[in-house]
Amino acid sequence: MLDSGLGPEWQPSISKMMLYYKGARLCVRVDPPHADAWRREPYYSQLRECSRNALESQQQVVVYIRKRTIVVLPDKDVDLGDLEVGNQIWFGAQKTPRGKTWYAAKVPAGVPPEEATAWVLSRAAR
């Protein structure tokens, strides 16, 4: 369990999820037979709220179902597919007339972290 302020519904035996921090990332490990558990309420709206708060301080909320990786953003979820050892998760935002829109992408292991933004932007320009 991550926070004693979370209700009893977040107990892994009930929610079918385990929450923990790894650096600046809130990791949500979902029991594979219950792959959609994180999308159910009250979990989904609370994960979205965590994401809103986390991104402003350069943190992430990421759902893992085995290797499948889904980034929870305030305005959408981004399914990155299977994340392999060394892959990075990049995220960024763009201001629009309707407010901020968030993006996430999987960056291959061979791209140095300091070049991840340039790598993502070069792919988006294509």
Q: Give 20 or 55, the one with higher predicted confidence.
A: 20
Enter the pTM of the model.
0.87
9, 66, 68, 69, 109 from 16: Cα distances, Å: 10, 13, 16, 16, 30
Residues 109-126 have pLDDT tens digits of 999 988 988 888 888 766
Reply yes or no on whether the pLDDT at 1 is more than 50.
no
Model confidence over 34-82: pLDDT tens digits?
999 999 999 999 999 989 888 778 889 999 999 999 999 988 999 999 9
pLDDT at 87 over 90: yes
Q: Identity (one letter) of the amino acid at 86?
A: G
